[in-house]
Amino acid sequence: MSYRHRLVTPCVLTILLAFFVAGCGGTSGGFTPQEAPAYDTYAKEEYDATEDYALGAAASDDVDAKEAQRDASDNSVIIRSASVSLKSRDYDSALDAIRAVLDKAGAKQVSSNESGGYSRSITIDSRVDPKKLEQTVEELRKLDGCTVMSANISADDVTRTYNDTERRIEILNEQYEHYKKMLEEAETTEDILAISDRMYEVMAEIKSYTDSRDEMKHNADHSMLSVTLTEETTSGSTPSSSGNFAVDAWEDSWGIFGQVIRSIVYLFIMLIPYLLIAAVIVGIVLIVRRRRPKSARKKDAEAAGDNPQSAQESLQAKRDDGPKPPL
């Protein structure tokens, strides 16, 4: 190779290397201005996605918290009860309306205690669905012709007691299983009897706690509703504002007369058993006296002073023994 070729080759390589370095230096500074918006858009989308994820996670936590709170409220054991006291002048119609409201709510009557006399009264105890308790009380308060004397609804949260009772039952069941294994491994009669006695005690405790738990659950699932209706008397009523005092007095007098007759009949019915017993006793006495001998009856009559002859002799003796006039 000539001297010229040896000189040209390094120059060409140097020029090519310079162009290559210049090209790399122009692109090594980062994205071009045209590519920068694309990067910003990607970064913004990534930020928005991250923010949406965070908000979604927070919303999910809120939903989980609400679900947990709802589950806790669903597992709570709350005993609700209510009592309503009403008063009405039309006792029979008001009682029919009360029974209609209870039937509509699907109430199951537990007990009913009615008293008569001058002013009738009745108390009806029923079991109602807790979800319908407030609505039923409200309907009873709005009955036509009835005056609300009192109405209240109470709630007793027994969740802690209920859970404690369930835990006690679990522990007692574990003890029972433990004693059961010990009984299988017992060798002496003394050990068998001691373990058996303890097992009976544990069974009794399990029965007691189970009954208490079931009662709390039953009372929570079936609210007690007590309704009392009292007949309003007319003696304490005030005259009407229309001025028909005579008409009101006449109607009230017949109402009071009817109540008095009803009270007398009620009292007579109550006394019927006692009157029957008294009649039987009197009949027995009369029969016994009639069956006695005639001589015995005569002696009784003489002892009682029923004999006219003995009475006359007694009177004559008193006259002879009396003061005599002077001669």
What is d(CA 144, CA 120) in angstroms, rounded to the nearest whole number?
A: 19
The Cα 38–Cα 43 span in angstroms is: 9
Residue 27 has pLDDT above 90, yes or no: no
CB burial of 262-297 (b: ≥16 within 10 Å; e: otherwise) equals eeeeeeeeeeeeeeeeeeeeeeeeeeeeeeeeeeee
pLDDT (tens digit per residue) in 209-220: 999 999 999 999
- Mean pLDDT of all residues in 57-81: 62
Mean pLDDT, rounded, of the chain: 75
Pairing of strands 223-231, 78-88: parallel
User: Residue 179 and residue 168: Cα distance in Å, rounded?
Assistant: 16
pLDDT above 70 for 23: no
Question: What confidence tier does 299 reach under pLDDT thresholds 50, 70, 90?
Answer: low
Q: What phi and psi values does residue 201 have, to the nearest 5 degrees?
A: -65, -40
Question: Is the pLDDT reported for residue 310 higher than 70?
Answer: no
pLDDT at 103: 94
**Gap between the Cα atoms of 100 and 211, Å rounded:** 33
Q: Are 82 and 152 in contact (CB under 8 A)?
A: yes
| pLDDT value of position 256 | 75
pLDDT at 234: 63
Which element (helix H / strand E) includes 273? helix 245-291
* pLDDT value of residue 287: 84
Task: Answer yes or no: is pLDDT of 2 > 50.
Answer: no
The structure tokens listed for 41 are 């858009």
Q: How far apart are CA 41 and CA 39, in angstroms?
A: 5
Q: What are phi and psi of 114, to 5 degrees?
A: -120, 140
Average pLDDT of the segment spanning 127-137: 94
Instruction: Please name the residue that has the structure tokens 């001998």.
Output: 293
16 pLDDT higher than 70: no
Length of the chain counted residue by residue = 327
Q: Which of the four pLDDT bands, split at 50, 70 and 90, describes residue 317?
A: low
> What is the pLDDT confidence band of residue 320, given thresholds at 50, 70 and 90?
low
Residue 35 scores a pLDDT above 90: no
**What integer pLDDT is reported at residue 230 of this predicted model?**
93
Would you state the pLDDT for residue 116? 78
Residues 6+ apart with CB under 8 A from 253: none
pLDDT tens digits, one per residue of 148-194: 999 999 999 999 999 999 999 999 999 999 999 999 988 899 999 99
Residue pLDDT, tens place only, 229-245: 999 876 544 444 445 55
Contacts of 168 (CB under 8 A, 6+ apart): 205, 209
pLDDT at 7: 43
Look at the block and give the residue holding tokens 């006495």: 285
Answering whether pTM is above 0.85, one says no
Q: Which residues, in sequence order, are CB contacts of 213 under 8 Å at separation 6+?
A: 162, 165, 166, 169
Percent of the chain with pLDDT over 70: 60
Residue 60 has pLDDT above 60, yes or no: no
Mean pLDDT of 294-309: 58
What confidence score (pLDDT) does residue 246 get?
64
